[in-house]
Structure 1
C-alpha cells in the first residue's frame, strides 16, 4: 500500500478529454526553476476515473512538438489538437490520434483544402456534425492578413515591424470528412475578440463564456447556432459570476453548463463553481468540496453521471509566480447520483468494515466495487501525503 502510485506530472495549458471511460491527458508545461518546460509530446496519460489509477502510454507516428495552449477535442474516438505555443512560438498545425485502437499513433493533417486559421493559442472548439469549429484565441498575423479590426484586436504592447499579435473572434471550421478548412460568414452580434475563454457544445449550439478581452476579463455568455451561423448574446436573469479567464465550461446536461475556476479581473485564482441553466438563463453557485483548490488553465471533462473531472492547472497567477502547477484530479458532482452509484461509493469508502461480505457480490459488480475501493484508498493516501507536506511546511 505504501508503494508510490504512477501519477501524471503536474501541468498547465495541456489537453485532456474523456474517451472510452478514461481521461486522456497530453502536453502542457510546468515550471522548473525559472524556466517554463514543455512536457513530452510522445506520451499520453490515461486516468481511470473509477479506480483512480494512472497509466502512461508511449506515442508514435508524426508526433507534434511539445507545447501548451493547444486546443484539444474528440470526434469519434479520435483526438484532434490544433494551435498552441511551442519552442518556436505560436503554431497553426492540426494533428490527430486514435485513442481507442491502443496504438496511439499521431498523424499530421496535411493537404487539407482551404486556409487554416493563423497561428494562435488559448482558443476553444465545438464539435458538431463531423466538423471541428474553432473560435477565438491569441496569436499573430501579418499586416496584410488583418482585414477587419472588429475580428482582430491588436495587442499594442507586442507588435514588431510587420507582425501584429492580438485577440480574435474568428470562426474557422475543419470538416473531418472532406479534409477541408473554411471560414463561415456569421450573422448577429459576435462576441468581442478574446482568448483564454471557455466553450461547450449542446446539440447544434456552441456556447462561449468569458475570457481575456484586451485589458479586462469577462463572464458574458454568447451562443452560436452551428447550422445557421447566427450569434446571440445571452443575457442572464440572475447575478453573474465575476469576470475571468483560463476557466472551464462543461455541458453537464441538455440544459446545464458547469463553470469552474479561472483567474479573476483582479488576477486572483478562483475556486468557485457555477451551474448555468440554458433554459431559464440563470446562474446558480454550486456548493462543492474543492473550495480550497483554486485552479486556472486547467481542463474539465464530463465523466459518469454528470460528474466533471478537473485535472491539472495552476493554483497561482502563473504570470507572476508560476510555481503552483497541480496534478490532482478533482471530481465535481453536478447532479444527484443514482442509488446504484451511492451504494458502490459507500462500499468503496467503507471497504475495511465490509471486507467479509465482498465475496457475496456478483463477479461483474465486484469488479466495479474493487475499482471504487482503489479510488477511495488512493484519494485517502493522497490527502494524508498532502497533510504531512503541509505540517512539514508549517514546521
Structure 2
C-alpha cells in the first residue's frame, strides 16, 4: 500500500514465522524505514488488508494460524499502534483478500474463511464476493454493509492479483 511518498509493507511470513512489523520504502531517498512493531495485541500475520487513510496505516483481518476479524492502525504522527474495537455487523473473519480504501469506503474482494489443508497448493473456502463496507470515520463499528451488484457472476477466487488506479 502506498501514500503520496512511501510504500508500506506490514507482516507476512518468513522462516521464523509470521511477522507484525511495519516498514516503509521511500523511492525518492531510496531508503527503508522501520516503525515500531504492533505489540502483543497485533499478532503476526499474513494475508491481511492494508490501507493508508487519515494519517494512519490500517491493518485489517488476516491469518495468524486462524482467520482474524480484528482492526488495528499505526498513527504516523504519534508513532504508535492502536486496536479499534468494532461492533455490530461486520465482514466475516478472513485472510488472503483484496482491500483498498477510497474516500469513506473500504472495498474487500473475496478472501479465505477456512484455509486449505494443502497450504498454498490449493485454495481454502471462500464465501463472499466483492463487498463494500463503509467504515465510519475509520473508528467504531462497520456500517453500510452491502454487496456490490456489478461483481455478480465474477468467479470467486483466491491467490489473485488486482490493481487500483487513482
Q: Secondary structure of the residue that 2:33 maps to in structure 1?
A: strand
C-alpha distance after superposition, 1:248-297 (max 9, x if no partner):
xxxxxxxxxxxxxxxxxxxxxxxxxxxxxxxxxxxxxxxxxxxxxxxx3x
How many Å separate the matches in 1 of 2:38 and 2:50? Answer: 20
Show the counterpart of 1:221.
Answer: 131
Shift of 1:180: 1.1
Does structure 1 conserve the Cα–Cα contact (< 8 Å) formed by 2:132 and 2:148? Answer: no
Q: Is the 8 A contact 1:114 1:182 kept in 2?
A: no
Alignment of 1:35-74 (within 5 A): 73-74=1-2
Unaligned segments of structure 2, at least 5 residues: 115-123
Higher relative contact order (CA 8 A, sep 6+): 2
Match of 1:174 in 2: 74
Gaps of at least 5 residues in structure 1 are 1-72, 140-164, 247-295, 307-395
Q: Give the Cα–Cα distance (whole angstroms) in 2 for the partners of residues 300 and 116 of structure 1.
A: 30
Alignment of 1:109 with 2:35, yes or no, is: yes
Q: Which one of 123, 126, 140 corresponds to residue 48 of structure 2?
A: 123
Q: Is structure 2 residue 155 aligned with structure 1 residue 242?
A: yes
Counterpart of 2:141 in structure 1 is: 230
The answer to whether residue 110 in structure 2 is matched with residue 197 in structure 1 is no
CA, structure 1 residues 211+89, in 2 after alignment: closer, same or farther (shift >3 Å)? same
CA distance in 2, matches of 1:240, 1:169: 26
SS of 1:90 mapped into structure 2: strand
Shift of 1:114: 6.6
CA distance in 2, matches of 1:236, 1:107: 37
How does 1:1-395 map onto structure 2 within 5 Å? Answer: 73-101=1-29, 104-110=30-36, 117-139=42-64, 165-214=65-114, 215-218=124-127, 219-227=129-137, 228-231=139-142, 232-237=144-149, 239-246=152-159, 296=160, 298=161, 300-302=163-165
- SS of 1:85's partner is strand
Residue 201 of structure 1: how far off its partner (Å): 1.1
Q: 1:300 deviation in Å?
A: 2.2
Residues 84, 90 of structure 1: 8 Å contact kept: yes
SS at match of 1:91: strand
**Separation in 2 of the partners of 1:132 and 1:183?**
12
Cα distance change on mapping 1:128 and 1:181 into 2, 3 Å: same
Q: CA deviation at 1:220?
A: 4.5
**Cα RMSD over matched residues?**
2.3
Give SS of 2:88's match.
coil
Shift of the alpha carbon at 1:240? 3.9
Answer yes or no: is the 8 Å Cα contact 1:173–1:182 preserved in 2. yes
Report the alpha carbon displacement of residue 191 of structure 1 after superposing the two structures with TM. 1.0
Q: Which has the larger radius of gyration?
A: 1
- Quote the offset at 1:89 in angstroms: 1.9
Q: Distance in 1 between matches of 2:156 and 2:79?
A: 37
Question: 1 or 2, which has the higher helix percentage?
Answer: 1
Q: Distance in 1 between matches of 2:91 and 2:162?
A: 23
TM-score normalised by the chain length of structure 1:
0.36
